[in-house]
Amino acid sequence: MKIYSLPIYVQRFFTERLATQLKASPNTVASYRDAFRLLLKYASDQIGRAPTDLQVADIDTTIVGGFLVFIETVRGNGARSRNTRLAAIRSFFKYVAVNEPQLLHHCQRILAMPSKRYNKRTIDYLNPAEIDALLAAPNLTTWYGRRDHTLLLLALQTGLRVSELINLTCGDIVLGTGAHVRCMGKGRKERSTPLRKDCEEALRNWLMGHADDDQPKPLFVSNRGGQLSRDAIERIVHKYVKLASSECATLKDKRVTPHVLRHSAAMQLLQNGVDRTVIALWLGHESVETTQMYIHANMEMKEQAMAKTKPVTAPAGRYKPNDKLLAFLEAL
């Protein structure tokens, strides 16, 4: 009987499938890596063998199911994190099924494991007063204040993702006629986003003295001159939300993250009458349907729709079936 060593397939999955064939982004590779580190440690503890001694057949539906329960109950992860881990495991077993048809039935059982449903919260976003308070919070007399003000303004106007902000270089900013910012978005799709006059002016002032050679430099840097991290941008946002909350009370009760700035940019476009197909292109969404969540969260559009309706004039009462079968169905 042929033995299918798990380490061989895991290594091939990451080096051949993700890195070479799919050219997956560093974020995807890191997410899959974390999922397998947790899974292999859990399986090793349950089976009693080191990860290097595990076989593909050892990772069955019992182990995967127990692992998913483990990350929710013991690690305290939510349903979204649970589904993300399951997606990584599914991707691996799809790869195994293609390369080892003898394991197809084993892989199909794992691939059939469903994602968990969860409650979807309405997105958070900032209203115009909150945006003004946030942008007024940085101290523009300091280097840090000018950097942070420019970063927040760019994020709120363009709706760039955190990863896109981090990877921006000085050469990605085009000023003058047709001012815009270029970025490499999710799915390795390059896009250009126009800049508003106030944002263009802030970037022009920030770039003075930052692009004095031909070497690509990060647009936003730390005090050591290196690229900002995701955590650093989150700290910047939290810092100025806290400062701005003294001027705008509604910010005190809001959970504001860098992604909320992206939502705020989209809501500004939607509330100013921009079509959702344009918003999808602006944000770099794969599908226009993704932009539907902004319509769902926009209370102003709902209020305008309600204003166009008329009161119901139908007589009050409740439907009463006159048939025993219909009565039975109605009572269910």
Quote the pLDDT of residue 131: 95
Active site residue 239: no
Active site residue 262: yes
Helix (H) or strand (E) run with residue 182 in it:
strand 180-184
Task: Determine phi and psi for 313, rounding to 5 degrees.
Answer: -105, 5
In terms of pTM, does the model score above 0.85? no
Quote the pLDDT of residue 160: 93
The catalytic residue among 90, 180, 191, 259 is 259
The catalytic residue among 17, 262, 263, 276 is 262
pLDDT string in tens for the chain (332-residue length) = 577 899 999 999 999 999 899 988 888 899 999 999 999 999 999 999 999 999 999 999 999 999 999 999 999 999 999 999 999 999 999 999 999 999 999 999 999 999 998 887 778 899 999 999 999 999 999 999 999 999 999 999 999 999 899 999 998 999 988 999 999 887 778 899 999 999 999 999 998 866 555 567 889 988 888 889 999 999 999 999 999 999 999 998 888 999 999 999 999 998 888 888 898 889 888 778 778 888 777 777 777 777 777 776 666 666 666 788 877 777 77
Active site residue 144: no
The catalytic residue among 161, 240, 263, 276 is 161
- Judged by DSSP in three states, 181 sits in strand
Active site residue 294: yes
The catalytic residue among 186, 191, 217, 239 is 186
Task: Determine phi and psi for 169, rounding to 5 degrees.
Answer: -115, 165
Tokens of 132: 């003004």
Given 3-state DSSP classes, what are the helix, strand and coil percentages for the chain, each rounded to the nearest 5?
Answer: 60, 5, 35
Quote the pLDDT of residue 315: 67
Quote the pLDDT of residue 213: 52
Cβ–Cβ under 8 Å, residues 161 and 262: yes
Residue indicated by tokens 């890195």: 19
Which positions ≥6 away from 246 have C-beta within 8 Å? none
Active site residue 147: no
Domain boundaries, given as residue ranges, for the chain: 6-111, 128-307
Name the CATH superfamily for 128-307: Intergrase catalytic core (1.10.443.10)
